[in-house]
């Protein structure tokens, strides 16, 4: 392991420990995103079920950027998690892209999601400059 990769590993571990000390739970979330390959998707909204209203409300936004090749030649998409609460910070992350063989414009991503709020039921929707998709049919417990 090179000195640079060792330093990055220690930095990542330190960041994760700090997040845990602030009450943040980190979860890997896998989602299928149709339309990404033709540059129609700008990001994903994560929605949380409100216990008081019974409706889903926006919790965080995952901004997706142009795909690129990483140092090992894998296709990745950089993304930024932004939550609306003023005490929460944004996270710059990358997810490896898996394209569906039957539809290369549809990708599957496993992204890290940092949840600062209480555990609950979550759904997702994708968005672009022309609008937003309906909420996902799948509900996740995070």
- Three-class DSSP labels, 33-53: ECCCCCCCCCEEEEEEECCCC
Please give the radius of gyration of the chain, using alpha carbons only, rounded to the nearest integer.
16
pLDDT value at 91 more than 90: no
Structure confidence by residue, pLDDT tens digits, 12-24: 433 443 343 345 6
Q: What is the mean pLDDT of residues 78-94?
A: 76
Tell me the per-residue pLDDT of 32-69, one tens digit each, with 9 for 90 and over.
999 888 768 999 999 999 999 999 999 999 999 999 99
**pLDDT (average), residues 74-99:** 83
User: What contacts 136, CB < 8 A, 6 or more positions away?
Assistant: 31, 123, 124, 125
pTM of the model: 0.76
CB 78 within 8 A of CB 58: no
In 10 A of CB 21, how many CB atoms? 8
DSSP 8-class letter at 129: T
Cα–Cα distances in angstroms (integers) from residue 100 to residues 7, 60, 127, 129, in the given order: 35, 26, 20, 24
């Amino acid at each position: 392991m090179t000195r640079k990769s060792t330093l990055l590993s220690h930095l990542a571990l330190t960041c994760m420990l700090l997040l845990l000390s602030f009450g943040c739970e980190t979860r890997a979330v896998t989602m299928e995103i149709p339309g990404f390959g033709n540059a129609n998707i700008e990001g994903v909204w994560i929605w949380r079920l409100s216990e008081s209203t019974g409706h889903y409300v926006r919790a965080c936004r995952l901004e997706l950027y142009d795909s690129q090749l990483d140092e090992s030649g894998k296709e990745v998409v950089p993304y930024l998690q932004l939550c609306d609460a003023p005490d929460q910070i944004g996270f710059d992350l990358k997810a490896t892209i898996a394209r569906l063989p039957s539809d290369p414009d549809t990708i599957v991503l496993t992204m890290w999601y940092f949840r600062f709020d209480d555990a609950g039921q979550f759904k997702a929707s994708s968005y672009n400059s022309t609008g937003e998709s309906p909420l996902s049919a799948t509900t996740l417990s995070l």
